[in-house]
Structure 1
Amino acid sequence: MRNEGKVQDLNLNRILGKYPSSPIKGPTLLVSAGVHGNEPSGVLALKRVFKKLEQEKPQFKGQIIGVSGNLEALKNQVRLVDRDLNRVCTPDNASKIEMGEELSFHEAKEFKELLKVIQEIEENPNSTRLFFMDLHTTSSPTVPYISVNKGEESYGFAMKFPLPVAKGIEKYIPGHFDHYLTLLGHVGFTVEAGQHEAPESVDYHEAMVIVGLVNSGLVEKSDIRDYDHYYNRLKETFGGEEGYEVVYRHHIDEGDLFKMEPGYSNFKEVKKGELLAHSNNEQVFAPMDGRIFLPLYQSQGSDGFFIVQ
């Protein structure tokens, strides 16, 4: 990783950057990072992107806005404070917040601030369309990939990027930030760039944002210095098929003692009946053939693993 410091050493604000500072009529690309506070990669990547844009000053149509998700969790280097922010972004909670109801968990305050950012974009007459990317990392090693809801436009947008795409996770875990944005009619997805502390995760997040500037119509390829370097950096990471769908989720109840078997990483093939984990001292077997997705190798979380086909 470049010598760029750690997230906790930065002067973190909700708005990590805007370029240009005053929006030019066109699409808006909203890039969120740190929705989980133990995933600093996206914040560091956005710092690089905004520095590059300020130095190169490419011709823009529209605006990119970078935001911090769970500011308090980022500052304390923890996944969450009270509840997982990426599970509470629901229309019901949004309605309660907009009606002035005080919800009893910290992440409601973070969601409230994110709602303000979304509303400002939606009400800006210069913003003709809202595209979004939510930057995440995982507890286990993984190739970079995109997780997208089943919406046709979002899936089409995701397939423009040279990464594997897994769709349909919203059926199993509603309330994540990108699902909420999709429900509002906006177009985008989640990017999982690699393991939390892996230096290359920052590189992949940076590359996704750069390629996203082109794919959302904000800039032309020719206006981005070294564009092919960023695109090829992503393309070289995966050699399998590009499209997958989530077909199974293993849920973990609060208080369960869950432990994955070692050696599993995203998109690794599994066979029906294969031992995948132990939960409360009982063996957990793969219920079907497929590829494992998001195996849990950290202490916090309610999703043990998924299977995609």
Structure 2
Amino acid sequence: MKTNSEILDKENLTRIIGEYPREPSNQTSGPYLLVSGGIHGNETSGVLAIQRVFRKLQEDKPSLKGKIVGIAGNIVALKKGVRLIDKDLNRVCTLANEERLKAQQSLDFHEASEFNELIKIVEKLENEEFNSAFHFMDLHTTSSTTAPYISVNLRERSFDFAKQMPLPVVKGIEKYIPGHFDHYQTLKGHTGFTMEAGQHDDPKSVDYHEAAIWIILVNTGMLEKSAIPYDNYYKMLENASPTNDNFEVIYRQEIGEDHYFRMDPGYANFTKINQGQRLATLDGETIVSRSKGRVFLPLYQNQGSDGFFIVKQA
């Protein structure tokens, strides 16, 4: 069986995966939904899910209020099948970098050009006349096996929006890792979340991402519930996670560029841990949990600056 990365048609990948409706003459006023995938180049599930959704929209041609736009994030990294080229795109999406790029300052890393393209897309949608509300979904996967969940910034509007989904919601990660595309859009005044659907190459991750897009299209009032098998999508996500509780990030294990980190085997998202429990090694030194809680985003890949997080129930 091919992996998600092998399924993706990298040669013909473009920034704009799809727009629906395509023609302004077919568009009515309503919410806009910007769905992004592949902000990390080794995470192809979101791109594949977006492609599925647009194929179905173009085939069935349902009536839609507003507009949905699907985009690919780090194009060069996606085509090479790597997480990043020079810097993590999901750490450089800041208002300060936006200001530098608009002032035509040179930023000496590849992801600056990728971010500049994303800025142009966001601003174009902000200025379109049919736009009555701007929502976003940023689709990701993880290096370790995990049940799907949602990550959201500490903004009540986005938190309430995320809680419409039958999945656990984790808030507050921007305190530890600012500069992700989700955080940038929140600072621009838009409402939305990041969804982690599972392990990078698990085919179920694509199914979960696709289900989430359809659910949000209905929940925002953009699409009639009768246009899709809504209950099937909802139950798919509801059955995919062991909990639908809400959590808040309380700790991040940072990894420096020259450090060797190794997560102990067997940890998955939301694994319960006790204070003093061994979790990993850093440069050969044992790392134990500083508090009781649950492991979040344990790192089981070579690239990345976040070893793991700890969350507590919110």
Q: Same fold (TM over 0.5)?
A: yes
Structure 2 distance, partners of 1:10, 1:160, is 36
Deviations 1:222-259 (A, max 9, x none): 122x1211111001012324211111101111110000
Residue aligning to 1:60: 64
Structure 1 distance, partners of 2:45, 2:121, is 21
The answer as to whether partners of 1:148 and 1:167 remain within 8 angstroms in 2 is yes
Structure 2: which amino acid aligns with 1:11? N
Secondary structure (helix, strand or coil) at the match of 1:155 reads helix
Q: Which of the residues 85, 99, 117 maps onto 2:121? A: 117
Q: Which of the residues 179, 182, 197 maps onto 2:183? A: 179
Shift in Å, 1:82: 0.3
Secondary structure (helix, strand or coil) at the match of 2:209 reads helix
Q: What pairs up with 1:26-41 in 2 under 5 angstroms?
A: 26-41=30-45
Percentage of matched positions with identical amino acids: 55
Structure 1: which amino acid aligns with 2:250? V
Structure 1 distance, partners of 2:231, 2:243, is 21
Deviations 1:181-219 (A, max 9, x none): 000100000000000011100000110111111122211
Q: What pairs up with 1:207-222 in 2 under 5 angstroms?
A: 207-222=211-226
The answer as to whether partners of 1:293 and 1:306 remain within 8 angstroms in 2 is yes
Shift in Å, 1:2: 9.6
The answer as to whether partners of 2:147 and 2:240 remain within 8 angstroms in 1 is yes
2:131 counterpart of 1:127: yes
Structure 1 distance, partners of 2:187, 2:244, is 28
Shift in Å, 1:10: 5.1
Structure 1 distance, partners of 2:239, 2:80, is 34
- Say how many residue pairs are matched: 308
The answer as to whether partners of 1:145 and 1:163 remain within 8 angstroms in 2 is yes
Structure 1 distance, partners of 2:191, 2:255, is 30
Deviates more, 1:103-112 or 1:2-11: 2-11
Structure 1 distance, partners of 2:219, 2:99, is 32
The answer as to whether partners of 2:11 and 2:79 remain within 8 angstroms in 1 is no
Structure 2 distance, partners of 1:160, 1:116, is 29
Secondary structure (helix, strand or coil) at the match of 2:36 reads strand
Cα RMSD of the aligned pairs, angstroms, is 1.4
* TM-score normalised according to structure 2 size: 0.96
Q: What pairs up with 1:1-309 in 2 under 5 angstroms?
A: 6-9=7-10, 11-22=12-23, 23-224=27-228, 226-309=229-312
Deviations 1:148-199 (A, max 9, x none): 0010100000000000000000000000000000001000000000000111
Secondary structure (helix, strand or coil) at the match of 1:54 reads helix
Structure 1: which amino acid aligns with 2:297? L
Structure 1 distance, partners of 2:256, 2:223, is 45
Shift in Å, 1:8: 4.1
The answer as to whether partners of 1:8 and 1:76 remain within 8 angstroms in 2 is no
Runs of 4+ in 1 over 6 A off after TM superposition: 1-5
Structure 2: which amino acid aligns with 1:271? N
The answer as to whether partners of 1:136 and 1:192 remain within 8 angstroms in 2 is yes
Structure 1 distance, partners of 2:3, 2:93, is 34
Secondary structure (helix, strand or coil) at the match of 2:177 reads coil
Deviates more, 1:23-32 or 1:193-202: 23-32
Is the alpha carbon distance of 1:2 and 1:216 closer, same or farther for their aligned partners in structure 2, counting shifts above 3 Å? farther
Shift in Å, 1:24: 2.6
Structure 2 distance, partners of 1:255, 1:24, is 53
The answer as to whether partners of 2:147 and 2:242 remain within 8 angstroms in 1 is no
Residue segments in structure 1 that go unaligned for 5+ positions in a row: none
The answer as to whether partners of 1:8 and 1:77 remain within 8 angstroms in 2 is no
Structure 1: which amino acid aligns with 2:36? S
Structure 1: which amino acid aligns with 2:306? D
Structure 2 distance, partners of 1:141, 1:216, is 30
The answer as to whether partners of 1:8 and 1:74 remain within 8 angstroms in 2 is no
